[in-house]
Structure 1
Amino acid sequence: MALVTGAMSVAPSFAKDIKIGVLMPRTGRYAETGLSVVRGIEMVVKNTNDAGGIKSLGGGKINLVIADNGSDPTKTSLEARRLMSEEKVSFILGPYSTPEAQAFMPVADRYQVGGVGLQTTLIPTTPYFSTISISAEGFGKAYADAVKWLISKGAKINTVAITYANNDYGQVVSKTAAAALTAQGVKVLESIPVEPSVKDMTPIVLRVKSLAPDAVISVVYFQDGVLLHKARFNLDYTVPIWLGGSAGFSDDKLWGALGKEVAEKTLTSSFGLAFYSADGKLPGLKDALQKGTAAYPDKVIDQSFMFGVQAARFLVRALENAGTDDPVKVNAAFRGLKFKASDPAIVLPIIPGDVHYAENGTLAGTSAIFVQWKDGAKHTVYPEAVASAKPIIEGVK
């Protein structure tokens, strides 16, 4: 008999390999993010296989079947169906974004094959989908909490403007943040939608500038964030305290994508909602960072990579607990995961303590962090309990 982290299972007399799907954007708007996620997954799988595979399956190896959804919800649905019905995978790591997850869930429900959304912020509508990220409502509350903290530090914030990605994720974040800010006595001047296909953020920045808010909250993806910061720089508009996220303010590739001149002007005094920062103190994070740097010396180890690592480490634990490749049982084991604080499987700083999956498939026990940039590196500034640096706040000495 082999004891496997809270579950007893009989190891088979022969190794049984497990086929796992990976459904990520490798082309299209979110390709750069998807490719980084896949690298994180592949590293964990290689380390696991090299260390003897899944012990509860007699040392069975994890075989990945990687599919490209092209950053498109329709293709997500088609590829999910192929992975489940033709490839016969036991579980799927992915998809990445909220719109993709909305297309994925009906397919998962039909075929009863589980999946996990990496940076999806919705509440799952099927028992065959789970998430790792903070919910959209959690994002909105986190922005309001950060504003409250900034005010406590002396920042003069009476008015706020919000810009948001015009999809379900952005709409919920904006609505939740606006309600929480209003309850705190902060006036929300306007909530401005930004279409996901935006090519130039100059009109958005001009609209914000005309409102003259004390602070701005921008809910943006990576590419939108690059466009936003370039527009801010070109218009020389960096006066308000600017908060935003996640990838568009805190992705580790952002400084390089903007270039030093633009980044120094726009990022050093901004507050980025983040899932990961290399200055985090978790043992699992330090281990993943060391292994990632060794495995990919020519790549930036960013938060997308760490999301891939986190999802894969969760899956390895679930497979050990399940002791089978049956999709229904693997999904049940994933939904049944529980971790104590500082478990070596945990790499994301948004998981600071004990964590488990709630009945609705969301991860209970997560909390946002905020970072600021200096000389191309991120530093956690909030919450202060996990901070590695003091915040730079416009107008506050």
Structure 2
Amino acid sequence: MTDSGDGVGAADGGGGPAEERLRRWRLVLGGGEGADGTGYGLSGRDAAMDGALATLYGKPAGKEGGKDRAAGLGASAPAVARWLGDIRTYFPAPVVQVMQRDAIDRLGLSTLLLEPEMLQAVEADVHLVGTLLSLNKAMPETTKETARAVVRKVVDDLERRLATRTRATLTGALDRSARVSRPRHRDIDWNRTIAANLKHYLPERRTVVPERLVGYGRAARSVRKEVVLCVDQSGSMAASVVYASVFGAVLASMRSISSRLVVFDTAVVDLTDQLDDPVDVLFGTQLGGGTDINRALAYCQSRITRPADTVVVLISDLYEGGIRDEMLKRVAAMKASGVQFVTLLALSDEGAPAYDREHAAALAALGAPAFACTPELFPEVMAAAIERRELPVPDPSVSSVPSVQTGPTL
């Protein structure tokens, strides 16, 4: 419980500290006529909040005395609409989003999201977008326009949050990756210049004589990197698909980067020609089904024309339904040709997915460390890959984000 004015912390009336403690315990414990032993009854806003929570988290009616809070919304669209309105009234947006996800999982409300009035009532977030995409094929035409509006709202918010920093980070990385041997003074990379000339250190003068200058190039004129995002669209990867689509659109907007977005389950779909609109990309995916990573990587490999200037990012939980040995051989071949290969177990805020640890360890042994990545970290990961330096793999000892890494990164 908090003391904020967003619902649970605001008492209906006055009372001393002891009464307030009873009130808070009553809200936490719920209960029927016995008030779960607190002896404190709820009224007004508190009772309404308790009712909204009871609908989702309460015990089924008739159990344990028959007077407990009853969970469930049934199949009534008006009841769901009222409940959605109630939770938006009594709880802050992050809590509303959690409750909506729980309602979809616990009470089976997915089919009700096929109704336009339901979509207009929900709080839009990445997880809701994932649910809508999984229902895409079953969605009636009358709902699709509303669904696209919901997805558009989330995508636009993500682009505002992520695009500027991503472009700035990658533009800097592209500049630094374009080294020239006769740079202008303002373009000298002093750190690399000093490192390249340490053998020319003069102890008596306590200085380095730089016989060879290393400088930054200008990415827009002299560097063009190719980035391939290869995204697993099995049901467990819904949030990763959403974020990958947004980042794919951002990368496609940069003139110095040639981007390709490939999604796969047991089939492979190239959505590169839709990257100008991530909403079109998302509605071009089909969440669910099996997984054939080897087939997807074979397609990506066939589209690589400049290996030394290419970064391939595989986003998958690595539960391979295809040919495991062929998949590993394909990764090894791409790396041997000069491709920078990155394996992300997830691209999401959660950062702790279930994944195939054996396959992750095998990829790490090939120099392609596997780790989960948050959207905030993704620009740094891409910058490191472009510059061919060590990836910023999260430390599992201080993070809940899993990683599998063996030997040098790149």
Which has more strand, going by share of residues?
1
The structure whose RCO (Cα within 8 Å, separation 6+) is larger is 1
TM band (smaller chain): 0.3 to 0.5
